[in-house]
């Protein structure tokens, strides 16, 4: 049986569902690994011993996953010269923000390659560990190339399926719509208003003059029409 070349550590057994993603990727590339539980705060001596003996046991890369005040990856990095990959786990009330900062904000001189939170971060940790090993292993390098080609092909297939679904939905929608709505009508030219002969004749007649009524002014001492002068 081949010796493990990647060591996976986690702060608690509750972190196992997340860290299994890293193990799954190592299995896909045919890389041997080992897993263990060690807490930077509850079992500091175990963490120190594991880190200091890892290189002698043939380990080439270390992956450490922890939540809350996630100091595991940083403590491991302080006790070894091997590359350390940190996986912050979102298990705290702060939704992993504390673990992300504790893993990423390492002081100068003690680097930790910090992945994203949770399962996606653990998956990337497995791939990143494989890429480190691939620098000196041609077989692993070729397997990673095949993995990337398959990933690209999978995305293209999903895009084709989505395009086919959207095309079918669009066709069904057009079939349900009335023909009048699907075929745009040509714009009609505005019709000129028809002027009848009567309107033309009425327009040609001269305007009628208003009749003026004659108003009689009453003269002092005179008589009005129809009255006889008084005798």
CA atoms within 13 A on the CB side of 141: 6
Lowest mean pLDDT among 73-77, 120-124, 186-190: 186-190
Predicted confidence at residue 166, as pLDDT, reads 82
Average pLDDT value for residue range 204-208 = 60
Report which of residues 193 and 160 the model is more confident about.
160
Percent of the chain with pLDDT over 70: 73
Whether 192 has a pLDDT exceeding 70, the answer reads no
In angstroms, rounded to a whole number, what is the distance separating the alpha carbons of residues 55 and 62?
A: 10
Q: Is residue 180 part of a domain?
A: no
Residues 40, 101: one domain?
yes
**How is the beta sheet containing 6-10 ordered, strand by strand?**
33-37, 6-10, 61-67, 84-89, 113-114
Q: Is residue 21 part of a domain?
A: yes
Q: Is residue 152 part of a domain?
A: yes
**Domain ranges, residue 106:** 6-136
Residues 131, 19: one domain?
yes
Place of tokens 């896909």: 28
Report which of residues 131 and 183 the model is more confident about.
131
Q: Is residue 225 part of a domain?
A: no
**Which two three-digit tokens encode residue 109?**
């001189």
Confidence of residue 231 (pLDDT cuts 50, 70, 90): very low
Number of domains, the chain: 2
Residues 56, 120: one domain?
yes
Q: Is residue 142 part of a domain?
A: yes
Predicted confidence at residue 32, as pLDDT, reads 97
Q: Is residue 228 part of a domain?
A: no
Q: Is residue 155 part of a domain?
A: yes
Name the phi and psi angles at 64, rounded to 5.
Answer: -125, 125
Q: Which residues, in sequence order, are CB contacts of 102 under 8 Å at separation 6+?
A: 69, 70, 71, 74, 88
Predicted confidence at residue 19, as pLDDT, reads 98
CATH code, 96: 3.40.50.1970
Residues 151, 55: one domain?
no
**Number of CB atoms found within 10 A of residue 33's CB:** 19
Q: Is residue 123 part of a domain?
A: yes
Residues 54, 142: one domain?
no
């Amino acid at each position: 049986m081949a010796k493990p070349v990647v060591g996976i550590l986690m702060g608690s057994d509750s972190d196992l569902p997340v860290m299994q993603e890293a193990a799954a990727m190592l299995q896909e590339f045919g890389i041997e690994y080992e897993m263990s539980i060690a807490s930077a705060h509850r079992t500091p001596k175990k963490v120190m011993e594991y880190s200091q003996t890892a290189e002698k046991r043939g380990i080439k890369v270390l992956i450490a996953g922890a939540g809350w005040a996630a100091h595991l990856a940083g403590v491991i990095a302080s006790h070894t010269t091997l590359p350390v990959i940190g996986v912050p786990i979102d298990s705290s009330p702060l939704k992993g923000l504390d673990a992300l900062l504790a893993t990423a904000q390492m002081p100068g001189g003690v680097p930790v390659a910090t992945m994203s939170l949770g399962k996606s971060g653990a998956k990337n940790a497995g791939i990143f560990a494989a890429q480190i090993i691939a620098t000196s292993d041609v077989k692993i390098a070729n397997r990673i190339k095949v993995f990337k080609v398959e990933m690209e092909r999978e995305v293209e297939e999903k895009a084709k399926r989505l395009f086919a679904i959207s095309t079918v939905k669009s066709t069904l929608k057009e079939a349900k719509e009335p023909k009048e709505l699907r075929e745009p009508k040509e714009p009609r030219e505005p019709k000129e208003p028809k002027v009848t002969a009567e309107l033309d004749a009425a327009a040609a007649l001269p305007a009628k003059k208003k009749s003026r009524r004659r108003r009689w002014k009453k003269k002092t001492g005179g008589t009005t029409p129809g009255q006889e002068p008084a005798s």
